[in-house]
Amino acid sequence: MQYSPFYENNLVVCCYLLQLGENFSSCDGAKWCVGDREQIILENGAQRSIAEVRVHILPPEMRRYFSALYHFRVDTPDHSPLIDCHYPDWAGIHFVASGHQHRTSINGEPAVEYDDCIANGPTTRALGLELRTSLSWSIGLTPVGWARYANGAAADLANKVVDANEHPAFAKLAPICEIVQEKPGEFEHTARRIEKFLSAIRPACSPHEGKVEAIHNALREPAIGDVESLAETLGFSRRTLERLTSRFFGFPPKTLLRRQRFLRSLSRFTVEPGRSWSMSVDDQYVDQAHFVREFRTFMGMTPSEYAQMPHPLLDSIFVQRLAEHGPN
């Protein structure tokens, strides 16, 4: 695995060596090209692929609502897919600016493909990604972002992938697809246009935003391990807590606490190269077997199977997200 980032004002540009197809086992001749655009070139026998990810950090006033903007440039031979999986996360929308459509799947379910604009609700299962030659953009919604920019209950889209152009939940954000297709190859122009659009459409503040943000912050506290402690910390009744988490987070509070515990463990393993799983497991797990069961539930594989797979796309996005927001 090869990974190189560099920083350019408020842009973080990261380029990755991704898994090439389902049978990728080794690569030869990968090289780092320096120029106006950093990239990784992957050679596997006669096949040659290029994968580039650029991250645009949004202004502080938008970070309550959205994760960073991600731009993907993929060039694959013979339309072979670059394959990775995304950890359980909040809702996200993915816009194809040019080239092949993406195939996306929730672990355990068939992959789906929609024209130009695909979205997922909050997830507790890994999101599989297959990217072919294309230019595309992605943006994630935090729970507070769901409260302001999405329509309907997050629980209705939990662990689901939909056509964002058709589903009413994402009606406010679907027009971004037209923006990314205006000048597909111009990263900074498109990033600024998306920023301007998000500022222009900014809906009225939801009356629940303060409570939603308080819940989100409390979920990140490692000392809070059960629903009773969570409700007590927030000063909410259990019924109020369950209603708010279903509406804006997509899952019951117990599930969210389990997911957060898992993500803390995954983040430790991801951000510290050479760290073993035994050193990464969160203190709230009873034992290693408990962690392995939970890992299977969330990722559809064992920790050792996950560690043996290349995850440069997932790992590097995770590092950036941790720097901005902490584990989820």
Between β-strands 19-20 and 11-16, what pairing exists: parallel, antiparallel or unpaired? unpaired
* Start-end of H helices in the chain: 143-149, 176-180, 187-200, 209-219, 227-234, 238-248, 253-271, 277-280, 288-299, 303-308, 312-325
Query: Is a pLDDT exceeding 60 seen at residue 25?
Result: no
Query: Is a pLDDT exceeding 60 seen at residue 80?
Result: yes
Query: Is a pLDDT exceeding 80 seen at residue 14?
Result: no
Q: Nearest CA to 5 among 218, 234, 313, 284?
A: 313
Q: With cut-offs at 50, 70 and 90, classify the pLDDT of residue 22.
A: very low
Averaged pLDDT for residues 129-151 = 94
Q: With cut-offs at 50, 70 and 90, classify the pLDDT of residue 47.
A: low
- Rounded alpha-carbon distances, angstroms, from residue 115 to 82, 102, 105, 127: 19, 9, 15, 18
The distance in angstroms from the start CA to the end CA of the chain is 24
Q: With cut-offs at 50, 70 and 90, classify the pLDDT of residue 83.
A: confident
Averaged pLDDT for residues 144-171 = 96
Cβ pair 253, 227 in contact under 8 A? yes
pLDDT tens digits, 50-63:
778 888 989 999 99
Helix, strand or coil, per DSSP, at residue 82: strand
State the chain's mean pLDDT as an integer: 82
Class of domain 3-205: mainly beta
Q: Nearest CA to 10 among 137, 187, 140, 139?
A: 187
Query: Is a pLDDT exceeding 90 seen at residue 174?
Result: yes
Helix, strand or coil, per DSSP, at residue 44: strand
Instruction: List all residues 6 or more positions away from 288 whose beta carbon is below 8 Å from its beta carbon.
Output: 277, 278, 281
CA atoms lying within 13 Å on the CB side of residue 10: 11
Given this model, what pLDDT does residue 130 score? 87
Given this model, what pLDDT does residue 326 score? 57
Q: What percent of the chain has pLDDT over 70?
A: 79
Q: How far apart are CA 313 and CA 317, in angstroms?
A: 6
Query: Is a pLDDT exceeding 60 seen at residue 134?
Result: yes
Averaged pLDDT for residues 178-203 = 94
Q: Strand pairing partners for 11?
A: 8, 56
Model pTM score: 0.84
Q: Nearest CA to 314 among 135, 194, 138, 63?
A: 138
Q: How far apart are CA 269 and CA 272, in angstroms?
A: 6
Query: What are the tokens at 244?
Result: 């708010």
Q: With cut-offs at 50, 70 and 90, classify the pLDDT of residue 39.
A: very low
The DSSP annotation for 144-200 comes to HHHHHH--S-GGGGTT-EEETTT-GGGTTTTTHHHHHTTSTT-HHHHHHHHHHHHHH
Given this model, what pLDDT does residue 316 score? 59
Given this model, what pLDDT does residue 200 score? 94
Q: How far apart are CA 160 and CA 26, in angstroms?
A: 33
Cβ pair 282, 261 in contact under 8 A? yes
Q: Report the amino acid identity of residue 128.
A: G
Phi/psi of residue 115, nearest 5 degrees: -70, 120
Check residues 108 and 106 and name the one with the higher pLDDT.
106
Given this model, what pLDDT does residue 50 score? 75
Least confident of 29-43, 59-73, 149-163, 228-242: 29-43
Query: Is a pLDDT exceeding 50 seen at residue 87?
Result: yes
- Per domain, the residue ranges of the chain are 3-205, 209-308
**DSSP secondary-structure letter at 321?**
H
Torsion of CA 239, 169, 174, 88, to 10 degrees: 50
pLDDT tens digits, 216-272:
999 999 999 999 999 999 999 999 999 999 999 999 999 999 999 999 998 888 777
Sign of CA dihedral 90, 96, 99, 103: positive
- Decide which of 3.40.50.720, 3.30.1300.30, 2.40.50.460, 1.10.10.60 is the CATH code for 209-308: 1.10.10.60
pLDDT tens digits, 191-223:
999 999 999 998 888 899 999 999 999 999 999
